[in-house]
Amino acid sequence: MNPLLFGLFAFLMLAFGVSVVVNRNPVASALSLVVSFLCLAALYVGLDAYLIASVQVVVYAGAVMVLFLFIIMLLDLKAEERRKFNKLAVGGGALVSLAFAAQVIGVLGKFPKGNQPFPTLKLPPDETLNDIQKVGESMFSQHTLPLQIVGVLILVATIGVIVISKRELK
Amino acid sequence: MDFITSIPWALIAWSVAKAVFVIFLVVLPMVSYTVYAERRVSAAIQDRVGPNRTGFPTTLLGFKKDMQIILGGLGQPIADAVKFILKEDFTPGGVKKFYFWLAPCLAMLPLVSLAFVPFGSSLFGEKMVIADINVSVLGVFAVTGVGVYAIVLAGWASNSKYPFLGGIRSTSQMIAYELSMGMSIIPVLMAQGTMQMSHIVQNQADNGWTLLPLWGHGLSLQSWLLLIPFGISFIIFAISVFAETNRLPFDMPESESELVSGYHTEYSSMKFALFFLGEYTAMIVGSSLIVVFFLGGWHMPGIPDGDGNGGLAILRELPHWILGLVNITCFFGKVAALLVCFIWVRWTLPRFRFDQVMKLGWLYLFEIALANIILTAAIIAFTSK
Q: Determine, for residues A66 and B175 on separate chains, whether the beta-carbon distance falls below 8 Å.
A: yes
Query: Measured on CA atoms in the order B218, B209, A55, B17, is the torsion positive or negative?
Result: positive
Is A28 within the bounds of a domain?
A: yes
Q: Give the separation between CA B14 and CA B8, rounded to whole angstroms.
A: 10
Residue A31 and residue A74 in one domain: yes
Write B213-221 long-range contacts (CB < 8 A, 24+): B214/B301, B215/B301, B221/B383
Q: What is the largest CA-CA distance in chain A?
A: 63
Q: Give the separation between CA B292 and CA B284, rounded to whole angstroms.
A: 12
Residue A121: per-residue pLDDT: 67
Residue B71: per-residue pLDDT: 67
Closest to B195 (Cβ–Cβ): which among A57, A58, A132?
A: A132
* Rounded mean pLDDT, B243-249: 81
Residue B385: per-residue pLDDT: 65
DSSP lists the bridge partners of residue B220 as none
Residue A78 and residue A99 in one domain: no
**Mean predicted lDDT score pLDDT of chain B:** 83
Q: Give the separation between CA B141 and CA A57, rounded to whole angstroms.
A: 9
Please compute, for residue B352, the number of CA atoms within 13 A of its CA located in the half-sphere on the CB side.
21
Is A120 within the bounds of a domain?
A: no
Residue A94 and residue A35 in one domain: no
Percent of chain B with pLDDT over 70: 95
DSSP output for B3-58: HHHTS-HHHHHHHHHHHHIIIIIIIHHHHHHHHHHHHHHHHHHTT---S----B-G
Percent of chain B with pLDDT over 90: 10
Is A122 within the bounds of a domain?
A: no
Mention every residue, 6+ apart, whose C-beta is less than 8 A from residue B282: B110, B144, B147, B244, B245
Residue B4: per-residue pLDDT: 63
pLDDT digits (tens, 9 = 90+) for A33-90: 999 999 999 998 888 788 888 888 888 888 888 888 888 877 766 666 676 777 888 8
Q: Give the separation between CA B80 and CA B36, rounded to whole angstroms.
A: 10
Residue A70 and residue A135 in one domain: no
Residue A133 and residue A103 in one domain: no
Expressed as residue numbers, the domain containing A10 is 1-83
In terms of Cβ atoms closer than 10 Å to its own Cβ (0-12, 13-18, 19+), residue A59 is middle
Q: Give the separation between CA B145 and CA B178, rounded to whole angstroms.
A: 8
The contact set of B with A (CB < 8 A) is 3-4, 6-7, 99, 133-135, 138-139, 141-146, 148-149, 152-153, 156, 164, 167-168, 171-172, 175, 178, 195
- pTM to 2 decimal places: 0.85
Mention every residue, 6+ apart, whose C-beta is less than 8 A from residue B294: B188, B209, B210, B211, B230, B233, B234, B237
Are B55 and B6 in contact by the 8 Å Cβ rule? The answer is no
- The total number of residues shown for chain A amounts to 170
User: Chain A interface, mutation test: which of B134, B140, B199, B362, most A Cβ atoms within 10 Å?
Assistant: B134
Mention every residue, 6+ apart, whose C-beta is less than 8 A from residue B297: B118, B197, B200, B201, B204, B205, B291, B331
Residue A11: per-residue pLDDT: 93
Domain with residue A3: its CATH number is 1.20.120.1200
Question: Which chain A positions have a beta carbon within 8 Å of B139's beta carbon?
Answer: 50, 54
Least confident of A134-143, B94-103, B255-264: B255-264
- State the DSSP H helix or E strand holding residue A169, giving kind and residue range, or none if neither: helix A144-169
- For residues B37 and A118, which has the higher predicted lDDT (pLDDT)? B37
pLDDT digits (tens, 9 = 90+) for B175-188: 888 888 888 999 99
- Among left, alpha and beta (phi > 0; psi -120 to 50; other), residue B208 is left
Are A20 and A33 in contact by the 8 Å Cβ rule? The answer is yes
> Nearest-CA neighbor of A16 among A26, A27, A29?
A29
Total domain count, chain A: 3
Q: Determine, for residues B135 and A54 on separate chains, whether the beta-carbon distance falls below 8 Å.
A: yes
Q: Determine, for residues B138 and A55 on separate chains, whether the beta-carbon distance falls below 8 Å.
A: yes
A64 touches chain B (CB under 8 A): no
Amino acid at position A67, single letter: L
Band (pLDDT 50/70/90 cuts) for residue B302 is confident
Q: Give the separation between CA B381 and CA B291, rounded to whole angstroms.
A: 27
Band (pLDDT 50/70/90 cuts) for residue A96 is very high
Is A121 within the bounds of a domain?
A: no
Question: Which chain A positions have a beta carbon within 8 Å of B134's beta carbon?
Answer: 50-51, 129-132
Residue A26 and residue A67 in one domain: yes
Is A58 within the bounds of a domain?
A: yes
Are B157 and B99 in contact by the 8 Å Cβ rule? The answer is yes
User: Chain B interface, mutation test: which of A8, A78, A132, A158, most B Cβ atoms within 10 Å?
Assistant: A132
User: Chain A interface, mutation test: which of B179, B195, B198, most A Cβ atoms within 10 Å?
Assistant: B195
DSSP output for B237-284: HHHHHHHHTT-TTS-GGG-HHHHTTGGGTT--HHHHHHHHHHHHHHHH
A63 touches chain B (CB under 8 A): yes
Tell me if residue B123 falls in helix, strand or coil.
Answer: strand
A70 touches chain B (CB under 8 A): yes
- For residues B375 and B18, which has the higher predicted lDDT (pLDDT)? B375
Question: Which chain A positions have a beta carbon within 8 Å of B156's beta carbon?
Answer: 27, 73
Residue A72 and residue A95 in one domain: no
Least confident of A116-120, A136-140, B371-375: A116-120
Are B185 and B137 in contact by the 8 Å Cβ rule? The answer is yes
Q: Give the separation between CA B253 and CA B15, rounded to whole angstroms.
A: 35
Least confident of B241-245, B250-254, B300-304, B363-367: B250-254
Is A23 within the bounds of a domain?
A: yes
Residue A50 and residue A107 in one domain: no
Q: How far is A54 from chain B (nearest CA, A)?
A: 6
Residue A1: per-residue pLDDT: 65
Are B27 and B111 in contact by the 8 Å Cβ rule? The answer is yes
DSSP β-ladder status, B126-127 and B122-123: antiparallel
Residue A5 and residue A54 in one domain: yes
Residue B328: per-residue pLDDT: 86
Residue A145 and residue A92 in one domain: no
Residue B179: per-residue pLDDT: 86
Write B36-43 long-range contacts (CB < 8 A, 24+): B36/B73, B36/B74, B36/B76, B36/B77, B37/B339, B37/B340, B37/B343, B38/B343, B38/B346, B39/B76, B40/B71, B40/B73, B41/B340, B41/B343, B41/B344, B41/B347, B42/B343, B42/B346, B42/B347
In angstroms, how far is CA A90 from the centroid of its own chain? 23
